[in-house]
Amino acid sequence: MLTVHHLNLSRSQRVLWALEELELPYQIVRYQREPTMLAPEALKKIHPLGKSPVLEDDGVILAESGAILEYLQETRDPGNILKPLLPQDRIQYRFWLHYAEGSLMPPLVMKLVFGSLGKPPVPFGLRTVGKILGQGVQKGYLNKQLATHAAFIEQHLAQNSWFAGEQLSMADIQMSYPAFALLARGAQGELPHLSAWKKRVEIRPAWQRAIQQGGPLDFPGS
């Protein structure tokens, strides 16, 4: 039996979605974030990094969303339901699988961090300075970076229904977390193609089942 160690409001939602698309049986071990929004120490008993998601499969323990999704596709998807067949689509498939965490998530995380510098747990006496610093970094750097990423994604989806061509793939599942986060930052009106992709995701029965299992996908600070 596959076991997902699932942290609320986390990237592990992607693993649940993949499992539902593949119609695989699995069980969930649930963890709740601490008031600091960090993962609980209990996750370190499963994997030394103490992060989620973690997938257990008959003694194999895997961390990192992209690695887990590739593992599931290679071991549980013999019909290539979630991997495109055309060579040009497979190039895009590989790119978006790595782009999600390698390029898009870092500025999104930085925006969250710098947007929180004027709030607890930052000491009260430093919040004014923190807020000014955070706003300056966002305006001078992060917002421009995210605008570049948003335009890049929008241009791609203007020509493709899904991230790796005309069928849903693990690339879409991997991109779901940062893409939803990008839209949660208030860019929906400026990104009609990404917003349309999001709607296509949300009407999928497997996505809806994953949300029922894992809880709503909300984003702190959005």
Could you state, in order of their start, the residue ranges of all structural domains in the chain?
2-76, 87-204
* Entry pTM: 0.89
Token code pair at residue 101: 């965490």
Among 125-129, 180-184, 215-219, name the one with the lowest average pLDDT.
125-129
Q: Cα dihedral angle (139, 140, 145, 151), rounded to 10 degrees?
A: 60
Residue count of the chain: 222
Q: pLDDT grade, residue 222 (50/70/90)?
A: very low
Top CATH class of 87-204 equals mainly alpha
Residue pLDDT, tens place only, 78-126: 999 999 999 999 999 999 999 999 999 988 887 776 556 556 665 555 5
Does the structure show a pLDDT above 90 at 138?
Answer: no
**What's the pLDDT score for residue 215?**
85
Fold assignment, 2-76: Glutaredoxin (3.40.30)
